[in-house]
Amino acid sequence: MDLVDVKILTALENDGRISFTSLGEKIGLSKTPCWTRVKELEASGAIEGYSARVSPEVLGLGIRALVHVVVSFDQYQSFENAIIKHPAVRCCHAVTGEYDYVLEVLAPDMSALDDLLRQELSRLPGVSRFNTSITTRMIKEAGSYSSMIR
């Protein structure tokens, strides 16, 4: 990965819909070499895909919570399989420390979050306990990976 690749990644992180012509102009390459570089970055796995950022609030999902979960050791795989399929879980991290996982969940309101926690998440395989924090506002959501390359 060289400086041109980093510039491409930075530009695509800022605007994944930029045309190859505009991207090339931004980084100092013509359209075809730019396209070739992007395809190589995709093939190498550096670019995993493209997506749109969607507003949960506009979709009626105004409550965002972090759920710290402790899971029985012998049930971790069943828990992970269930989490992968669960539509209310936006992301799940396996972590070190007091808890085994941190989930980010979305719900329309507090009543729905309560139902989600009591009726669904608490009943997932291996869950022995959890602690929930409601987020009050997002300070930073999607930082740039390419800015971390030195």
pLDDT band at 140 (very low <50, low <70, confident <90, very high): confident
Question: What integer best gives the mean pLDDT of the chain?
Answer: 93
Annotation: CATH topology of 63-134? Alpha-Beta Plaits (3.30.70)
Lowest mean per-residue pLDDT among 3-7, 35-39, 100-104, 124-128 = 3-7
- pTM listed for this prediction: 0.81
More confident residue, 74 or 143: 74
Mean pLDDT, range 68-93, rounded to an integer: 97
| Main-chain dihedrals φ then ψ at residue 58, nearest 5 degrees | -65, -30
> Could you tell me if 111 and 62 are in contact, meaning their C-beta atoms sit under 8 angstroms apart?
no
Residues 107, 99: Cα–Cα separation, whole Å = 22
Residues of each domain in the chain carrying CATH 3.30.70.920: 63-134
Architecture of domain 3-44 in CATH?
Orthogonal Bundle (1.10)
Residues 83, 90: Cα–Cα separation, whole Å = 9
pLDDT tens for residues 23-58? 999 999 999 999 999 999 999 999 999 988 888 999
Residues 6+ apart with CB under 8 A from 70: 98, 99, 100, 127, 128, 129, 130
Residues of each domain in the chain carrying CATH 1.10.10.10: 3-44
How many residues would you count in the chain?
150
Token pair belonging to 94: 């396996």
Kindly tell me if the per-residue pLDDT of 142 is higher than 80. Answer: no
> Could you tell me if 89 and 103 are in contact, meaning their C-beta atoms sit under 8 angstroms apart?
yes
